[in-house]
Amino acid sequence: MNKKTDVIIIGAGASGLMAANQVNKSAIVLEKNSQAGIKLLISGAGQCNYTNNISLKEFFNKYGEHKRFVRYGLSKFTNKDSIKFFEQKGIKSTVREDQKVFPASFKAEKVFNALLRDLKHPIVYNTKVTGIEKTNKGFIVNSTTGIYESKKLIIATGGQTYPHTGSTGDGYNLARILEIPVTKLYNGLCSIEIDKDLSSLSGITLKDIIGNIYRDNKKVKEIIGDLLITHNGLSGPMIINNARDLRANDSLKINFVGIRYQDFDEKLIKLSQEHSKKDIINALRILNLPNRLLEFLIKGIDKHKNIASLTKKERKLILDAFVRNTFEVLKVGTLKNSMVTVGGIDLNAINKKTMAAKKDSNIYFIGEVLDVDGDTGGFNIQWAFSSAYLASEDVNKNSN
């Protein structure tokens, strides 16, 4: 097969399908899987939380250090635009109390089918791109199903996490062929494994916990959120939404009581005075921590000892355990269980208003293949849609 067209879209995930909906020139979508949108279909546990209803100003802050880059795209195709897009295709949406937006049916296939409905451009399945050549007239794309030629390329291949969905980092290899820089890749939106055995605490959830990430003895970032203790580490929004900033060998210091070290020291002294007849374990129940966690934190101290008889050394052990308990990060997720890839196409090489490469305005990168990752809650799918919109608009108005 040797097919010529104006635009080749590589990848039929959320961003590729949205681009295919918006491009009004002749186009072909190349998809290496036997079906489109596999990752989209399993998003939100199959319910597809495709955007979020918070204000646009708040939206920008959900993308870590790349909020300035995404601002333009998210302003041009907003969360409200996504909702309207699906409404126009007959898909009503519902907004949960946490502002996550889902199709009213809570079925991902509704969103998927809406993206496929009325699609004017063909999708060629089971087509893995094996190489790209730049010519005077555009591009020659070599693949397992033949050769395709186009004036423009939109690369929408996703990241490298959830590889069973087809996201295996293909776009990064294509970028390197095209001499577009790629940043270092990490796992994102995932749990972490730590150096301490917390299996006895598995399942405990704590609200609004404060933590601090340290690297090479320097503070990297303060993180706040709900914390879930798992059988081999830590998870929950506090960890998942900040996984982009965590690395193996980092130290994570967690404050389980939410007050400063000195203030907690004063609280302990006051407890020992006002509850002098109570043993340590019962006096500390005033902190309203789960009993299993309380027992864990005072391990190494005689819990039945009278709190009034705490030595200075024992009080320091309690202070350190409750206010700055230190965990070493062994691993940040895996390719299989991380929801998003941190890193990707270097944003310094991309025009944030068009998603085109600065060195060649006929090559576009959209969605997760870029070095953009949002918090959990619909922000990554929204970015897929917004970046696809920008690229498509530029393709449509650019006649070169």
Q: What is the dihedral sign for C-alpha 327, 333, 337, 339?
A: positive
Single-letter residue type at 61: N
Residues 97-147 pLDDT 10s: 999 999 999 999 999 999 999 899 999 999 999 999 999 999 999 999 999
What is the arithmetic mean of pLDDT over 262-283? 88
The pLDDT-based confidence of 153 (bands split at 50, 70, 90) is very high
% pLDDT > 90, the chain: 88
Per-residue confidence band for 276, with pLDDT thresholds at 50, 70 and 90: confident
Given a cut of 60, whether residue 211 has pLDDT beyond it is yes
Residue 236 has pLDDT above 70, yes or no: yes
Q: Which domains does the chain have, with CATH numbers?
A: 2-186+339-397 (3.50.50.60), 191-332 (no CATH)
Q: Residue count of the chain, please give it.
A: 400
**What pTM was computed for the model?**
0.93
What are 221's two structure tokens?
């970032």
Reply yes or no on whether the pLDDT at 184 is more than 90. yes
The whole-angstrom separation of Cα 127 and Cα 51 is 29
Tell me, what's the pLDDT at 272? 86
Q: Which residues pair with 7 in a beta bridge?
A: 27, 152
